[in-house]
Amino acid sequence: MSPADAQRRGGGGGGRRQGGPGGSRPGGQGGSRQGGGPRRGRPDGGNRGTTGRSRQGQPTIAPQPRSAPEVDVHAPDGVRLQKLLAGAGVGSRRACEELIAAGRVQVDGQVVTELGIRVDPSSQTVHVDGERVQLDESRVYLAFNKPLGVVTTMSDDLGRPSVGDYVAERPERLFHVGRLDADTEGLLLLTNDGDLAHRLQHPRYGVLKTYVAQVSGPVPRDLGKTLRAGVQLEDGPVKVDSFSVVASTPGKAVVEIVLHEGRNHIVRRLMEEVGHPVLTLTRVQVGPVELGQTKSGRWRALSRREIGQLYKAVGL
């Protein structure tokens, strides 16, 4: 055989493939593959992967993952979904029907598009565009501006002014979400939704709280960097999520502090540690809820959107 014939038979590779007599593949069907190009189905000629050529009888394409089975969320004795959404303030009944038809509404995590579906507002959850809608009319969510000198309890055995005094005429059994010191004023959430209240206070969810404090000054320019890096306290380190100087006067400064910590007196202890004791302290925001224009000693009901954002912040 001439060298040219040998080259044509070997496809430029210089000889037979190794591993079996007569150039056959190991464990193959006794025939040799012609040429030295890539295997059929592998245009790049690389090593076979999970979706490459397989043995006879096996699929050549990896099976696609199965989609989650649909769940029947219809509650025959419930209320029509569009009626519940309209009653919760999402929009008019016609607008709610359009939301459902567009696939923007979920019931128990399942997208629904049927207008005739009924749900049980006491046991099922509904989301619109990813935000939870509270359908249980017995649930109450209030933003209270706690005055100075008021203790964060719903009643006080010592006869001191308490948060409970300001909502005593409400029929619901409310409780406060977290605490504010008697000498700290500002935003305090009140609710009868135990699940939400528990998560808002749990450090796992890291809900941010914003405070405005008047501290002794002047404040050095690198104080924010120090606080963001972390300061060691007697019960462990603490660092702020944000710090900024709002205003400055001789001997004093107004600063904004944002952190997700919930330990007792955390802001006061932190600023004391860095040499700028707190003179006055006001909490102005919890998560997405702002104190706004609510006057001291007054409360307001949270909007549907604020409630939905609170649920979203804690994964409900």
Catalytic residue positions, numbered: 181
C-alpha 188/C-alpha 290 separation (Å) is: 10
Q: Residues 97, 102, 106, 112: what is their CA dihedral angle, to the nearest 10 degrees?
A: 80
C-alpha 258/C-alpha 261 separation (Å) is: 9
Alpha helix (H) ranges present in the chain? 3-10, 81-87, 93-101, 194-201, 223-229, 266-273, 304-313
State the first-to-last Cα distance of the chain, in angstroms, to the nearest integer: 78
Q: What is the 3-state secondary structure (H, E, C) of 138-189?
A: CCCEEEEEECCCCECCCCCCCCCCEHHHHHCCCCCCCEEECCCCCCCEEEEE
Dihedral sign, Cα of residue 33, residue 35, residue 40, residue 45: positive
Dihedral sign, Cα of residue 193, residue 196, residue 198, residue 200: negative
Strands 209-216 and 105-107: unpaired
Give 20: exposed, middle or buried? Use CB within 10 Å, 0-12, 13-18, 19+: middle
Q: Are 107 and 125 in contact (CB under 8 A)?
A: yes
Give 263: exposed, middle or buried? Use CB within 10 Å, 0-12, 13-18, 19+: middle
Consecutive H or E run containing 232: strand 231-233
Q: Are 271 and 263 in contact (CB under 8 A)?
A: no
Rounded to the nearest 5°, which phi and psi values hold at 162? -130, 165
